[in-house]
Every structure is written in C-alpha cells, then in structure tokens.
Structure 1
Amino acid sequence: MSFEDLVAEAAAVSVDGWDFSWLDGRATEERPPWGYQRLMGERMARASVALDIQTGGGEVLAGVPRLAPTTVAVEAWPPNRRRAADHLLPRGAHVVADDGEPPFPLRANTFDLVVSRHPVRAWWDEIARVLAPGGTYLSQEVGQGSGAELVEFFLGPQPWADRNPQAARAMAEAAGLEVVDLRTARLRTEFLDIGAVVYFLRKVIWMVPGFTVDAYRPRLRDLHEKITADGPFVAHTTRFLIEARKPRWARDGDRGDT
C-alpha cells in the first residue's frame, strides 16, 4: 500500500476503547514478564468487592475469568464508558462515570481489591481512602520515557516526566500504604508500517498531544520512507508493577465519604 493509502486507512478506523487488535500484523509489543491480567485475575477470584480505576473500554477487566461478586469500574471518557458498559454489564459489573480526578465518586473503606492498568495518574490518597483495611491495590504503570524514540521523532527532545517506580513507592507510602511488590521491565515495540504509527498516536493521545495527520503529514512521510528503507521503526517502553496493601488497622473515614 502507498503512504496515502496507509495513512487514510489508519485515520478512518475507530480508536474508541483500549483494544489494540487492529495493530495485529502491523506492530509488535513485547509484554512484561509478570502477566498483569493473570495476576489481576488471581486476585479478583479471591476478592469480594473490587474496583477498576480508569478502566478504559473495560477490555482488560472483562478478560479475567471471574469477577468479584461486586465489581465496579470507573471511567471518565464517555466513548470508553459506553464500551466498558458493553463489556462489563453482561458480567454483572457496575460502570460508574467520574471526571478522572479526585475525589472518586465512591465511599471510603469499601474495596478489598483496587486495580488499574496504565493509569494516567495514580491518585494515591484516593486509592488509600477507598481501600478497605487489609485491601490491596495492584497496578501496571507506564514508566518514564516510554516510547521516547517515537515521540521525539515528531517532537524533538523532551523533558520527560518523572514516572519511576521509586517515586510511586514513596507516594504510596506517604498515603499510608505498604508496598509489597515492585517490579520493572524495559520492552521493545516495533511499528511495521506508517498506518500503525498513525493509529497508535490517535489512540494514545498523550504521546504526541494534538496529533493529527494533517498537522504531522511531512514528518509522517519521513517516517514512512525510513520504515520502507530500513525496516520496522523500533521504540522502547518501560512498565512497572506495583502492589500495595492498606494496613488492617487503618481507616480513612475521617477523610470523608463521597
């Protein structure tokens, strides 16, 4: 396919939800060795009341074999929320609207499991507030400088935000949680054609803020020519897994229910 055909195809496809299957055969992403969805499923099978923060389209949560008897998913973006409802309501879960920032529309000391995959930001005080005493928070986060090679191809050198696991540990502990597991991984991603790049940047909107095909067409053409001449464009991502527990003696009702 020509540059124009690849770009037009990727610009027309829906990017709602958090399903990346459109990239099958067009991009590859190395996965973290710990298997976040498997770990989440193991903990969900033991939970009674569970919460998924920033659920996106609910795809990850819907992929676990067994949900907790009471499972709540929160999501801010309406198109994703509709997809989450399609995925999760048939499983008996509740989908709740929020605005992506504190306070969560949830009561304190409620959930024995809270999960979140790739949160834009972890609001640690709120996580601690809604966790029941003895409850667990499990999250896979995007680390510092993820996709730097791709971002900087379009934007030039960037002052990367501090998203490192030790900072996450410090914030969790400051919120009164005990970190019981912390792991990191550096992973390889390959984009096999320019359509994959266009789709990815349309979907992961914070990578190149304000990305549109028209605004970046000359740079997209440069990258298309590079891929055609040299093969897949390689970028690297970082991920970290963090698991934290609220002490059994702790209560946060004095912070106020919402």
Structure 2
Amino acid sequence: MKDTLFENYLRDIEEHFSGWDFSYITDSGRMDSGMLSWSYGSIVTPHIRQSKAMLDMGTGGGELLAKFQPLPPVTCATEGYAPNFPIAKKRLEPLGVTVKEVKEDNLLPFTSERFDLIINKHEEYSPKEVKRILSSQGTFITQQVGGNDCLDINQALGAPVNEEFLHWNLEYARNELVEGGFDVVEWKEEEPFQRFYDIGALLYYLKAIPWQVPDFTIDRYKDSLYAIHKTIQSKGFFEVKTNRFILIARLNNS
C-alpha cells in the first residue's frame, strides 16, 4: 500500500532555501537542536560593541550579522556561496556593511591589519590569512562544525561518509592556530543531539547542506528514507549527534 504521508513529505525537498535560514523547519518545530553550554551571539556581542573595524566571515544571507546592530563604524562581510551573495548585499548594504564575494579563503580582498575583530560562524578560514588582516591587538572568534557532525544520517541512509573533513575538530583547529602565531585564550567543544520530527524536515536539511551526503537523491536513498520515516512514526523523532566547537584567539605578539 502506498504511504501517502511519506510521499507528501518527500515534496519538502522542493521548498525554497536561501541564505542560511532554517526557519521553515525550526520555527515550525519540525527540527530541534540540543543546547550548547555557550552562546555564540552572547560571546561576540560585547566584542562587536567595542570594535572599530569588524569582519564577518561567511555571512550567509546576512541574517545573523544584521541582528548584531548597532555594528562597528567599519563592518565588512564575506560570502563564498554565489546564491547567498546578492541576498547578503541586499540585506546588509543598507546597514552600511561592505559585502565582498570571495572564492579563496587564503586570498581575502582586504589590506593587512584591517580589522580589530574577525568573527566566523561555521565558515572555512585560513589561519595565515586571518593573521594577515587582523590588527596586532585584534581578536578572532570562530564557532565551527566538527568533521563528525551528523554522521548518524549517513549511517542511517547507508551513505558514504565525506572523509575530507573527518580530521576537523577542536584539537586540530586549536593546534593550527597556535602554529600559525595565535594565542588561543578560550575554547570548548560539545556534541549535542539534533532531532528531526518528520522525514520532510530531514530532506529539507539535506538539501541545505549537500556536503553531508554529496550523492544524495531521493531515488537513490528512498528505501532508507522510508525506514527513517517508520522510525519517526514509532519513536516520534530521528535523532543524530552533532559536533560544535568554539575558539577565541589573539595574535601572539611576544
């Protein structure tokens, strides 16, 4: 017998996704994430209020940066994902933010020692390039997604794991910054759970982060998706473990 509920949920992969906005599944309670013991926003806010020149790396559609108003007198943002760039420009330029499209993390379009604060949420970065554009007394704050994030999804689907990022964790990132001439003054790593309350929410999520399962199509993984759907129907949710870490670093001027 055809499962009409399952087939209806499959249509959620067609829902529009832009910027870095998961409100379609979060605001409706269809996906929920476990709490971290820190708040990225609460950490960066006092630094933003003291900054004279700030860079937000990987601003997405600018949704988060816009919420940190008032912004420093000089505020710049970068975005490397082409569909997000015009969205970020439209949202941020009226706020006085200079938005730059970037293709290479190690080649940023800014002069040396340009910023006293660089913030970065879930964006790749080159320690050498961050060091170049950060002032001598500046601060670099980054929250990152670890390489073993949501691997339970791959396991449940029977999908190959993207091994390119498996090394990426707090220890590796911290050592890389120290070797790059930084003092890491604060750091923390945690693995909270994330829950999907219907299979449509999982499909929407996979569309937004295609690197999780690079070869994903509904047809290829339909049997596994249906098995997850049945798990949700019996248990109430599908739960996966995430991986987040945060570092605050300053240049080692000794």
The question of a shared fold, defined as TM-score above 0.5 by the shorter chain, is answered with yes
Partner residue in 1 for 2:203: 198
Between stretches 75-84 and 206-215, larger displacement belongs to 206-215
Moved over 4 A (4+): none
Give the distance between the partners of 1:22 and 1:142, measured in 2 at CA. 21
- Displacement of 1:157: 6.6
Partner residue in 2 for 1:45: 49
Contact 2:54 2:116 in 1 (8 A): yes
Contact 1:202 1:212 in 2 (8 A): no
Give the distance between the partners of 1:142 and 1:100, measured in 2 at CA. 19
- Displacement of 1:156: 4.6
Partner residue in 2 for 1:218: 223
Give the distance between the partners of 2:154 and 2:71, measured in 1 at CA. 36
Partner residue in 2 for 1:145: 148
- Displacement of 1:56: 1.2
Amino acid at match of 1:63: K
How many residues are matched? 247
Are positions 1:174 and 2:179 aligned together?
yes
Partner residue in 1 for 2:40: 36
Give the distance between the partners of 2:253 and 2:51, measured in 1 at CA. 15
Contact 2:19 2:61 in 1 (8 A): yes
Partner residue in 2 for 1:122: 125
**For residues 100 and 23 of structure 1, do their structure 2 counterparts lie closer, same or farther at Cα, with a shift above 3 Å needed?**
farther
Give the distance between the partners of 1:244 and 1:145, measured in 2 at CA. 23
Are positions 1:70 and 2:74 aligned together?
yes
Contact 1:155 1:208 in 2 (8 A): no
Give the distance between the partners of 1:86 and 1:213, measured in 2 at CA. 33
Give the distance between the partners of 1:170 and 1:54, measured in 2 at CA. 22
Q: Which one of the candidate residues 130, 134, 137 is aligned to 1:131? A: 134
Contact 1:110 1:130 in 2 (8 A): yes
Contact 2:106 2:125 in 1 (8 A): no
Amino acid at match of 1:219: S
Q: Which one of the candidate residues 94, 112, 115 is aligned to 1:111? A: 115
TM-score (norm 1): 0.90
Aligned to 2:68, the other structure's residue is in SS state coil
Amino acid at match of 2:240: A
Partner residue in 2 for 1:18: 20
Long gaps (5+) in structure 1: 250-258
Aligned to 2:89, the other structure's residue is in SS state helix
- Displacement of 1:133: 0.8
Amino acid at match of 2:13: A
% of aligned pairs identical? Answer: 31
Are positions 1:93 and 2:97 aligned together?
yes
Contact 1:75 1:100 in 2 (8 A): no
Give the distance between the partners of 1:134 and 1:219, measured in 2 at CA. 52
Give the distance between the partners of 2:193 and 2:149, measured in 1 at CA. 10
